[in-house]
């Protein structure tokens, strides 16, 4: 921060800068000193120089004096510049406030948009009579202020056949498990639901196909799709309790 220099009211009269020299005769004072208005350079002893109060050059005072002496048109112009600068300050302040208000509005709008967040805790497959049963244990969060629902669940299988990438979707089947998520499933505002989704893929279908990954896609009431990807879906290992 700029330090304001102390105002000296008499530096022109009693302490002209041009009168000061150092002990070897070098001139002290501001560079714009006018030698023609001052007396000759006199060598002063070092003690007397140190005894004098320090000379300060006050640019603000000079600017004020210049402004007071200047033409009225220049005065008006300078006042206009000052007003313009103040207006610019207000404009910048309004801009910052507006940006903050826009951010807040967007956050509120985001909260109104009922977008579902999907997470799956585990995924596995097990053999069934009609093929492989792929099971995804998922939780669905609705962080918004509006209620929503899981309308449809599909499993996209990305695989390669003869080095060509293929993509096939398998619809959801209602599982017999008590934890099965029965679609359509409502998700209230700021609510979380959980359950398992099951997809049956015939054994013949994936024969000699190299599966790259699985994508679980959930479609909500508003038609917005959310996808969670699973690369490795292991076979379910039967435990001793089962």
Partner 1 sequence: MKNRIERSTLPVIKVLETGATATSNVSSGAFVPVVMVATDAHPSVAELIRAHAHISGGDCQSSWARPPLNKGLIYLTLQFERPSDFGFHLAFDLPGQAGAVDQVMRAKSLYLQHGSSGRGLEYHIDEPRILIEAPADNFSDIWDDMFLRAAAKIARREGASYLESRSKARELIDQWRNFFDGHSDATGAENPSPDE
Q: State in angstroms the smallest separation of the CB of 91 from partner 1.
A: 44
Whichever of 70 and 160 has its CB closer to partner 1, that residue is: 160
The token pair that represents 207 in the structure block:
């024969």
> Which residue(s) pair with 156 in the sheet?
169, 215
- In sign, the C-alpha dihedral spanning 13, 15, 21, 26 is negative
Whichever of 49 and 183 has its CB closer to partner 1, that residue is: 183
The token pair that represents 124 in the structure block:
């596995």
Whichever of 96 and 168 has its CB closer to partner 1, that residue is: 168
Whichever of 187 and 218 has its CB closer to partner 1, that residue is: 218
Three-class SS state of 52: coil
Report yes or no: 124 and 177 within 8 Å, Cβ to Cβ.
no
Whichever of 142 and 219 has its CB closer to partner 1, that residue is: 219
Q: State in angstroms the smallest separation of the CB of 86 from partner 1.
A: 53
Which residues contribute to the site for partner 1 (CB under 8 A)? 154, 161-162, 164, 166-171, 201-202, 204-205
The token pair that represents 91 in the structure block:
């404009």
> Which residue(s) pair with 27 in the sheet?
21
The token pair that represents 202 in the structure block:
């015939």
Q: State in angstroms the smallest separation of the CB of 171 from partner 1.
A: 6
Report yes or no: 211 and 157 within 8 Å, Cβ to Cβ.
yes
Compute CA 224 distance to the chain's CA centroid, rounded to the nearest angstrom: 25
Q: State in angstroms the smallest separation of the CB of 89 from partner 1.
A: 50
Q: State in angstroms the smallest separation of the CB of 145 from partner 1.
A: 32
């Amino acid at each position: 921060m700029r330090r304001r220099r102390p105002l000296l009211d008499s530096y022109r009269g009693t302490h002209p800068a041009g009168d000061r020299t150092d002990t070897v005769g070098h001139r002290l004072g501001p560079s714009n000193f006018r030698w023609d208005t001052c007396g000759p350079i006199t060598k002063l002893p070092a003690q007397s120089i140190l005894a004098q109060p320090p000379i300060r050059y006050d640019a603000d005072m000079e600017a004020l004096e210049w402004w007071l002496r200047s033409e009225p048109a220049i005065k008006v112009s300078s006042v206009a510049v000052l007003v313009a600068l103040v207006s610019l300050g207000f404009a910048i302040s309004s801009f910052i406030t507006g940006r903050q208000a826009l951010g807040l509005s967007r956050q509120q709008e985001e909260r109104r948009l009922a977008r579902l967040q999907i997470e799956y805790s585990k995924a596995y497959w097990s053999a069934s009579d009609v093929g492989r049963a792929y099971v995804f244990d998922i939780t669905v969060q609705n962080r918004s202020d509006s209620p929503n629902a899981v309308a449809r669940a599909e499993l996209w299988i990305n695989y390669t056949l003869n080095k060509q990438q293929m993509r096939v979707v398998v619809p959801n089947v209602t599982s017999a498990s008590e934890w099965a998520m029965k679609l359509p499933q409502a998700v209230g505002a700021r609510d979380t639901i959980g359950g398992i989704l099951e997809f049956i893929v015939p054994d013949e279908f994936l024969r000699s196909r190299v599966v790259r990954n699985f994508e679980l896609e959930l479609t909500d009431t508003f038609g917005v799709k959310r996808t969670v990807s699973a690369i490795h879906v292991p076979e379910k290992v039967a435990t001793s309790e089962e």
